[in-house]
Amino acid sequence: MKQNFIDIKDLTVAYESKPVLWDIDLEVPQGVLMAIIGPNGAGKSTLLKTMLNIIPKISGKILFNGQSYKQVYKKISYVPQRNSVDWNFPTTVLDVVLMGRYGHLGWFQRPGKKDKAIALDCLEKVSMTTLKDRQISELSGGQQQRIFLARALAQEGDIYLMDEPFQGVDIKTEKSIIEVLKSLQKQGKTLIVVHHDLDTVPVYFDHVTLINLQKIASGTIAENFNEENIKKTYADNKFQRKVTEVGL
């Protein structure tokens, strides 16, 4: 049995006194590739942002290998949703990836040769080296997504939190990204990915958490990705039809 690497206990989060996550308990073993699924507005992105201290919690505890976020933030890599990023900011592809190195630098210290070499290696892993001098605003949505994945890789974290990394990309890019994620998992990294396509959940992931304001179920795909849990999660939701589409 894998050791729990992330422990969330009694987590409640609210916007303007309205709960958006309620009494969440979640245990994530080390080295898993976990999907977070649920309908729109279920609190999936909120969960990630709360883990990252971007959104404050009303109550509860979040520990990473027994430590708080402030103690381990340098080891946590984050890929935000594309629509939350200002893609018109004037910066090159390489400079975006180098941002992943800032946690390894001291105050006012600029990235050195080692940092640049790591950034270029990360661009190579996502097949984007030839575009290193391009402005990030000039790239397609799929290319931008791969650049942000490269930035996360450059951070050399132990935990990767990703908010819909497959959003708006073509199938070729999607398969390329999942290959990188599976490679990270083989290295012992722990990955939590907000995902919306139920068809690919059992193909891409080995663990799943289903939420709709509260946790419905969490654990291995074999034990938790089933018709009963999907119905509970997507009750009274247009995605209910997905239950039959994925053959459950």
Counted residue by residue, the chain has a size of 248
- Reported as a single tens digit per residue, the pLDDT across 195-206 is 999 999 999 999
- Does domain 4-85+158-245 fall under CATH 3.40.50.720? My reply is no
How far, in Å, CA of 245 to CA of 240, rounded?
9
215, 11 contact by CB (below 8 A)? no
Confidence of residue 248 (pLDDT cuts 50, 70, 90): very low
Specify the pLDDT at position 29: 96
Structure-model confidence comparison of residues 90 and 245, the more confident one: 90
pLDDT tens-digit readout, 45-60: 999 999 999 999 999 9
Per-residue pLDDT band at 242 (split at 50, 70, 90): very low
pLDDT at 1 over 60: no
18 band by pLDDT with thresholds 50, 70 and 90: confident
- Percent of residues, the chain, with pLDDT higher than 70: 91
The pLDDT value given to residue 19: 85
pLDDT of residue 2: 54
Q: Read off the pLDDT of residues 80-114 as tens digits, 9 standing for 90 and up.
A: 987 766 767 789 999 999 999 988 776 667 888 99
Question: Which residue's structure tokens are 């290696």?
Answer: 121
DSSP characters over 156-202: T-SEEEEE-TTTT--HHHHHHHHHHHHHHHHTT-EEEEE---GGGHH
DSSP3 helix / strand / coil % (the chain, rounded to 5): 40, 25, 30
Average pLDDT of the chain is 90
* pLDDT mean over 214-242: 84
Average confidence (pLDDT) over 131-154: 92
Task: Say whether pLDDT at 187 is over 90.
Answer: yes
Tokens of 208: 């799943």
Examine the pLDDT at 3 and tell me if it is beyond 80: no
pLDDT at 213 over 80: yes
